[in-house]
Each structure stands twice: as C-alpha cells, then as structure tokens.
Structure 1
Amino acid sequence: MLKRFGFFEESSRREALQDLRELQMMGPLDEEDLVLQYLSEGTMLFEANSDAYDRLMDDSVMIGPPDVYSDGEWCWSGDVLYYIRNYHIAVESQFFDWMQRNNWKCPKIVSAEALVQSNWLT
C-alpha cells in the first residue's frame, strides 16, 4: 500500500488547518529545493477534475487541481508543492528520509495503471 502525504482537501477545514500549521512550524527545510524537485518529478496517478483551495487562507485562493503523484512508495497531492513554496511546510520525516535515500531523484513508475490498480479500488 502506498504511503500518503498532503491530501489536505480530503480533511475537514479544521483538520487541514491544524496539519498545515504543524508542518509549517517544522519548516522551512534546508533541502526545500531538493524536496520540491523530487515532488515535481513524480509520476501522475490521477488527474483531479476539481480544484484545491488554500486551506491556510480563507479558502478563497484557488491552488489548482489536486492531482495525485507517486514515486512507487509514496503518493502525494499536487497542491503540496504550493504549500511548500508559499508556506515552507515540511514533509513527514519518513517521506523526507525516503527522498534522501533516493538521493533526491524521484523513481519513475513504469506502469502507473498497475500501481493504481494494486493500491486503489476502482
């Protein structure tokens, strides 16, 4: 099962705000640019047909679609990059350690469809 990070749109506004504030207090990371590069290189698993909104504002700032990306071990919502760039949130320590072990190079997924089928009910 894929480990998940940054699915703030799935949480209630209060829960998302609490999670984001905690991650914000842990950041910024010295390796923020490396984290952003890694996340940007992920393979898209799902294309969202809705938009995400900034949970740290008043939900009036549209971020864009919360597409889902993966490296084969972790998956994350595309809006995580927005929060890292604009609010300098940290990522979970296990995810950070995983990126570091991969030398900041996001593994390419050969078959995104097979990964999706093995991890989600469709």
Structure 2
Amino acid sequence: MSQPPGPLRPEQQHELVRQIGAVLTGQVPPGWRQLRVEYRAAGRHIEADLLVTAPDGLPRTLPPHPEAVRLLGVLRAGMYQPGHGTWLGAVLVFDPGRPPEADFGRPDLEPPFRHQPPPIGFQDELRFFPRAEERIPGWLRDRAGLPPLALPPPALPGPDEKVHTPRVHDGVDAAGRPVIRRPPLAPAEIERVLSYLDTAPVILASRSYGADAFAPDRADAVPMNFRTDGAWAWPGAVAYYLREHGVPPDPDLIAHIRARRFTAPSEVSAEATVLALAAITGERL
C-alpha cells in the first residue's frame, strides 16, 4: 500500500459499518445483547477486540472475524483526508434492533494501544496516509522518530487587545451550584491539557488555597495561583477542576491549547507578563 484509496462517501461509510456488523453478528451465538468492537492501527500494526454481551448479560471477549478486521481497515483508509491523515482508533457498537454507533477518534489522538507499535508502524502510518508537517501531532512525531517541529513563539496581544482569561464555569443554578455547559474532553487529551495548564509560567502565586465550588466541604483545596502563556492567563482552579471533577476548561482556551499543539512556553516576556497581570487583576494599562 503506497497511496491511500479515494475517499468514501458518507453512505459508503455507513454501508461498511453495516457490513462489519453483519460479519460480527454471524460469528456469535443467537441472543446476544450487544457487540462492541475496538480497532486500533498504526501502519501495519493492527489491534482489534470484540466484546460480546451474552444473553446472561455478562460480557465476553472474542477475537473479531478476520473479514470484519479487513473491512475496518478499508473504512479507515477510505476516511483518509489529504494532508490531515485518518483516525488511528475507533469503537463500533451494535445493539439488536438499533442503528449502529460508530466513534472514530480524531487523527491527532493516540489510541490506547494494548502493545506499543514499533517506530516503523508510525513511519508507515505517515507514508500510507501522508500529513502536512503542521498536522503531525507531537506524540506521533516522537513515536515515528521525527525531530520536533519548531513552534512559533506565542503571539503577543496587539495594542488594542488584551490577554484572554477563561470562564472557570458557565454560571450557577438556583441553589448557587456551578453549571457546566461545554463539551467534554477526549480521554486521550486530558493529561496533555493538564500538562499545558500546569507547566506554563506562574505570574501570581499564593500559599493559600480556596474553597472547591463543586465540593463545598473542601474549604482549602483550590490553588490560588495564576499562569500565562502570553496569550491567555488562567487561575489554578482551571487545572484543579479538570483533574478533580473532570470539568473541561473554557472551550476557547482548549482551542488555543490545541493550536499550540499542547506545548506551553517555558517562559514569557516581561511585556506579556505585565499584560497578563493586568488581565487577571482588572488594572488598566
């Protein structure tokens, strides 16, 4: 395989998912309650697991039929987008009498491999499904043995702009409890986002801790510090609530972190520090 095949239309993708379900259904005894197949690949390295919920309600693991594995590979190749790559991990769920559910991971996310593929697997991945340099995430560059891509320095706000500050939550309900109305993070992103939030330079620190808005019994739990990457400044509560309660940060901050390829600067300029302090204290410059 030297070139990815032409893209599959949505109806062709749906038909392949249906065929995969038909093959899997044919390999299990009647009366099954659910079939869940997980597929992970990097180049020629392929992992596939089938979890069958039997009539007694107990899940059992089986190796999926080779034809189903082959069709999953066809589906993955057919969903390749030039310059962007294709997904490396997917989960398909089949329930009797219901349409199948398919969750295809984003091309920049590393699936939870059972066995770490060798470097040649990731090298083949980039050869089979070429990506633009800026579309190769840091983890994939590292796995394939490629040198890190030089990052541009964080852009400083212009004279009429300010450093952005995130919303810690989206308001409160009638009882005064915080409300969250934002999409959850993919599990593979959580640690990378936390690393970014925790490693950017501290611009304001305190030895005291604040109350946990999601767990009022924790009176001294939330770090009272602020960090910045030059474009955004955020309180320690952002990382704390993600780590302790799974609260995703402000979607605009997440988009910024993804654009920075999850790599926080080790230092920021004095000018950026002044602007960030002004943003979090409300001072006018």
Structure 2-normalised TM-score?
0.35
Structure 1, unmatched stretches of 5+, are none
Q: How far apart, CA to CA, are the structure 1 residues paired with 2:217 and 2:271?
A: 35
Distance change in 2, residues 1:88/1:41 (3 Å)? same
CA distance in 2, matches of 1:86, 1:60: 12
Match of 1:100 in 2: 258
2:178 paired with 1:17: yes
Provide the C-alpha distance between the structure 2 equivalents of 1:47 and 1:98, rounded to a whole number of angstroms.
23
Distance 2:249 2:218 in 1: 24
CA 1:115 to 1:37, structure 2 compared with 1: closer, same or farther past 3 Å?
same
The 5 Å alignment of 1:74-89 reads 74-89=232-247
- Contact 1:54 1:61 (8 Å CA) reproduced: yes
- The alpha carbon displacement at 1:49 in A equals 5.3
Alpha-carbon distance between aligned partners in 1 of 2:218 and 2:268, rounded to the nearest angstrom? 37
Partners of 1:86 and 1:59 in 2: CA distance: 14
Calculate percent identity across the aligned residue pairs.
19
Question: CA, structure 1 residues 94+76, in 2 after alignment: closer, same or farther (shift >3 Å)?
Answer: same
**2-side partners of 1:51 and 1:93: how far apart?**
25
| Distance of 1:107 and 1:28 partners within structure 2 | 22
CA root-mean-square deviation: 2.6
Cα distance 1:94–1:36, how it changes in 2: closer, same or farther (>3 A)? same
The answer for the alignment partner of 2:274 in structure 1 is: 117
CA 1:72–1:82 in structure 2 vs 1: closer, same or farther (change >3 Å)? same
Relative to structure 1, the CA distance from residue 58 to residue 29 in structure 2 (aligned partners, 3 Å threshold; closer, same or farther) is same
After superposition, give the CA deviation of every residue in 1:34-53 in whole Å (9 maximum; x if it has no partner). Answer: 10011111111111354211
Counterpart contact for 2:212–2:222, Cα < 8 Å: no
* TM-score relative to the length of structure 1: 0.75
Which 5+ residue runs of structure 2 have no aligned equivalent?
1-161
More displaced 10-residue stretch of structure 1: 49-58 or 83-92:
49-58
Q: How many pairs were matched up?
A: 113
Give runs of aligned pairs for residues 31-70 of structure 1, distance below 5 A. 31-48=189-206, 50-70=208-228
Please give the per-residue CA displacement for 1:62-105, whole angstroms capped at 9, x wherever unaligned: 21432000111111111222211111111222211111111110
Higher relative contact order (CA 8 A, sep 6+): 1
Q: Does 1:2 align with 2:133?
A: no
Please identify the structure whose Cα radius of gyration is greater.
2
CA distance in 1, matches of 2:221, 2:267: 26
